[in-house]
Chain A
């Protein structure tokens, strides 16, 4: 029987791991992700997860290494981290993706030091965008639970075989309780059958090595030619491209089975159909924007929201369609591509460059390091963007605007910033 539980985002991730029948977990604590590790330890010690091995490692580097190894033995695996822990894994994240391992990993998002911060922003999640993982952002604890399950399905699809991140906001979701439906194991198993991996080193009838030195060119041998690094990486890009369709397909199947839909599985739209101005954001920023849309609609502005769920691969076609009728897109980034602008904003510009109806795109940075994002700030951003629409200089701006920095209180004069 499905069970309704009032749980935090971290526990929703742990329950998803349990429902998925994960065989090996290795994780290392870091705020705000720690309760995931604690809950899984509890499941294992209490015997609730009798078939799961938990490797209580001494670092994130070892956590991801251990799950990489276990995945290569053909096991379904899980890990989770945040910010500094995630950054510490970087080399291995590339390794996991390059090995085409269907690892699912949660990121409880947190600002990257220095200076130390334990509060949310999306810099950590965005900074691993190019390692080769798929990545989804979520807005609720139920969505965390569901997206972990869906991510396994996609990651383990033989047309894909890629690892996947599921990113939820530190504290805002990780430590906030919400009602979450935990599905019946048998029903989950119907949706997510046991892993059929392309790799299983314990199969001694088919002995081979994984990830040897791979030269730039093909290896030409009478027994058969083998790919060079370039071909491996090409196939990774192709898997990303094809996976978009599969993400959509899996989300649809999930909805039919469990009755929960998250937009089209790629993005969630809110009041977007007739919107002239669209807000574009992920996770906590998107959640905060929903009320903003309502307020602005009441004031007569035709505003809507596109909350991006699938960030990697970046769903270019979908976004071109989603923004085809809008005049203006306002992007709120809880991250910065230092020296450029908000990462989401830059990526959207790239995606829409070749679109037939290219709206104006105006980006703002908000809420770094857990700075509260208020509705008023977002409303201010949208209104400013609307006012400035007709001023060509604004679109040509090469510097990025931060909303909600308090410089005057620190003694700086307005003209100094």
Chain B
């Protein structure tokens, strides 16, 4: 089904004038996610840049109820909120959204997410992956990709690959998993709508690539361009896993064909965190992307979708 722009509601759940940096990908994603979920959404948010988005002193640009929580506890908070809605008979009507950064998802928040996923607690978990701890000053996380300089990998850049969170969540047997990017608001919108439709089917996990000008080192007006390059190079495939079945979203379908993918150097060279990378490092990135697509191809073949 193709979503018509005219079907997207005009009402914004996030008003203008947040405290986030200009060019922040996270903010865009947050706005579109809330638009898709609509006013009957309760958000819980752990310490992260998104917390700053909520404003200070009780004045907030967000029009839905948000309860801020401790860094490592967002999934458990969402689980508690979901249980409360069930106790009150409001679980069909209201959706719970856990909105976390990659630190709050891959690292310190992982235990709670894994526990809630295994129990099948009823909420949407969204990870805005800006690939480091941005709120505390760009420290490395389990989501930081190979080679990236952060303030805790300041000289050499990160020596390890990022965790494969999608695989980890897949192993939890979730009903709905999706990956999207701030460059594709319509894709974000559709995926959050789908996750809402899956209400009652345990944890639904959506990961969004969140471009970050100060953290990645690029000019603020290049935010969307970079997020799109991540898709066009094949590095960040837009996809879904619905009841276990892998579906490549339309904007990414063509990148099954390697020749259609842009050179990953275009993505990497636009960011100061990768400025020090050498040919050998680019090779590692290329192998990473090729390996990922090879896995996708094999899986689609097995599913009979090729």
Contacts and interface: CB of A to CB of B under 8 A. Distances in A.
A69 B81 contact: yes
B56 interface: yes
B9 interface: no
A214 B111 CA distance: 28
A95 B75 CA distance: 16
A62 B115 contact: yes
Contacts of B57: 212-215, 218-219, 221, 226-228
Q: Which of B55, B57, B63, B115 has the most CB of A within 10 A?
A: B57
A210 to B, nearest CB: 4
B60 A209 contact: yes
Contact of A212 (B58, B76, B83): B58
Contact of B84 (A53, A59, A65, A92): A53
Contact of A74 (B59, B88, B111, B118): B88
A386 to B, nearest CB: 50
Interface string B56-68: 1111101111111
Contacts, number: 169
Given A202-B85, A209-B58, A213-B54, A66 B66 contact: no
Interface stretch (B37-45, B199-207, B272-280): B37-45
B296 interface: no
A380 to B, nearest CB: 46
A73 B59 contact: no
B173 to A, nearest CB: 16
Given A55-B80, A56-B119, A69-B78, A201 B54 contact: no
A275 to B, nearest CB: 47
B111 A66 contact: no
A388 interface: no
Interface residues of B, number: 47
Nearest to A69: B80
A412 interface: no
Interface string A48-79: 00011111111101110111111011110100
Contact of A26 (B68, B83, B94, B114): B83
A199 B73 CA distance: 20
Contact of B83 (A61, A66, A214): A66
B250 interface: no
B72 A204 contact: no
A143 interface: no
A337 B60 CA distance: 43
A23 interface: yes
A210 B45 CA distance: 10
A213 B59 contact: no
A24 interface: yes
A204 B41 CA distance: 9
Interface size class of A (residues with CB under 8 A): 35 or more
Given A58-B115, A204-B40, A65 B58 contact: no
B77 A69 contact: yes
A91 interface: yes
Contacts of A67: 80
A62 B73 CA distance: 6
A211 B70 CA distance: 10
Nearest to A223: B59
Contact of A202 (B51, B78, B84): B84
A62 B39 contact: no
A66 B64 contact: no
B21 interface: no
Contacts of A53: 83-84, 86-87
Contacts of A223: 59
A207 interface: yes
A236 B119 CA distance: 35
A53 B90 CA distance: 13
A235 to B, nearest CB: 14
Nearest to B69: A65
A208 B66 CA distance: 7
Contacts of B64: 207
A65 B77 contact: yes
Nearest to B46: A65
Contact of A92 (B51, B73, B86, B116): B73
A7 to B, nearest CB: 26
A225 to B, nearest CB: 9
Contacts of A214: 56-58
A209 B67 contact: yes
Nearest to B81: A69
Given A65-B112, A212-B54, A219-B59, A57 B76 contact: yes
Nearest to B44: A69
A272 B121 CA distance: 54
Given A69-B77, A209-B62, A75 B88 contact: yes
A53 B82 CA distance: 10
A44 B94 CA distance: 24
A243 B133 CA distance: 41
B156 interface: no
Contacts of B126: none
A55 B119 contact: yes
Contacts of B69: 65, 68-69, 95, 211
A52 B51 CA distance: 31
Given A26-B83, A74-B88, A213 B70 contact: no
22 contacts: A23-B87, A51-B87, A54-B83, A57-B115, A59-B111, A61-B76, A67-B80, A72-B67, A73-B80, A73-B85, A201-B42, A201-B81, A202-B84, A202-B85, A204-B39, A204-B40, A207-B63, A207-B64, A207-B65, A212-B51, A214-B56, A227-B57
Given A69-B84, A218-B57, 19 more contacts: A26-B79, A53-B84, A57-B79, A61-B73, A61-B112, A62-B75, A66-B80, A67-B80, A72-B81, A73-B88, A201-B42, A202-B85, A202-B88, A202-B94, A212-B68, A213-B51, A213-B54, A214-B58, A227-B57
Interface of B: 39-40, 42, 44, 51-52, 54-60, 62-70, 72-73, 75-81, 83-88, 90, 94, 111-112, 114-116, 118-119, 121
